[in-house]
Amino acid sequence: MRHALFTLLKRDLLLAFRQPSELINPLIFFLIVVSLFPMGLKPETPFLPMMGAAVIWVAALLASMLSLDSMFRADMEDGSLEQILLSPWPLPLLALTKILAHWLISGIPLVVMAPLLGLMFNLPAEGISALVVTLLLGTPVLSLIGAIGVALTVSLRRGGVLLSLLVLPLYIPVLIFGAGSVWDASLGLSIRGPVLFMGAILVLALTLAPLAVAGALRISLE
């Protein structure tokens, strides 16, 4: 089973790198959205660091959503998704592997770029560290929750609007605690509580989301 999961992960990563537009477009969107705000304000603006946490997190959320639809769409179109459902391996583990591939492609680049973007908003070192930590905890949750919405809408021709309506309300707790932790860290306050809460959300999503995705895929392909 380990070999099957590794093969699926490798396949999804190779397919993503063969279509660089799907890989680069969310990153360009993320950079553009975050960069526009500092350009529209003076560098000495006192509330620029306060805005930075919220702007970066909202941009990361929207950039993650841009790449969600490709998680199962290509497999649906070429028939691979049906083969995955018929395979002898547990479907929740296969779904978790595809979610992992999505996070490696869309989430990790956002985390890597976050410190540079934090400097654009004059975030202190503590705020940038909190930004990296919260993105490491929050972006997997975005992929896990988003996968549920994608699995429910994968059989629809134009499910983008419905997907947004399904997942955006579930993203709100991650956004609140993620942006709030960065601002608290910038003020020198402890972020242990919010970070632990985000860790609990991640554990809960890791436990339940693959099961929900597996059930949603079976319903969508019936």
pLDDT tens per residue across span 62-108: 888 888 877 887 777 777 777 878 788 888 898 999 999 999 988 89
Q: Which of 139, 82, 109 is nearest to 27 (CA)?
A: 109
Could you give the angle at which helices 20-39 and 2-18 cross, rounded to 10 degrees? 60
Predicted TM-score (pTM) of this structure: 0.90
* pLDDT of 18 above 70: yes
> Are 160 and 69 a contacting pair, CB within 8 Å?
yes
d(CA 12, CA 103): 11
Which of 51-60, 67-76, 198-207 has the lowest average pLDDT? 67-76
The most confident of 31-45, 158-172, 186-200, by mean pLDDT: 186-200
Percent of the chain's residues with pLDDT above 90? 27
Q: Residue 158 has what pLDDT? A: 67
Residue 69 gets which letter from DSSP? Answer: G
pLDDT tens readout for residues 113-157:
988 888 888 888 899 999 999 999 999 999 999 999 888 888 777
Report the pLDDT value the prediction gives residue 46, as an integer from 0 to 100: 64
Q: Which long-range contacts (CB under 8 A, 24 or more apart) does 81-90 make?
A: 81/154, 81/217, 81/221, 82/221, 84/8, 85/217, 85/218, 85/221, 87/4, 89/1, 89/4, 89/5, 90/1
Locate 220 and state its tokens. Answer: 């969508």
- Residue 159, pLDDT > 80, answer no
Percent of the chain scoring above 70 in pLDDT: 94
| Angstrom distances, CA of residue 110 to CA of 43, 55, 107, 135, 167 | 23, 13, 5, 8, 19
Instruction: Tell me how far apart the alpha carbons of residues 48 and 146 are, in angstroms, rounded to a whole number.
Output: 30
Are 15 and 74 in contact, with CB atoms under 8 Å apart?
yes
Helices of type H across 19-124: 20-39, 48-66, 73-78, 80-86, 91-120
Distance in angstroms (rounded) separating the CA atoms of residues 123 and 89: 46
The backbone torsions φ and ψ at residue 41, rounded to the nearest 5 degrees and listed phi first, read -130, 160
Within 8 A by CB and 6+ apart from 218, the residues are: 85, 91
Q: Which residues lie closer than 8 Å to 75 by C-beta, 6 or more apart?
A: 81, 84
pLDDT of 205 strictly over 90: yes
Average pLDDT, the chain: 85
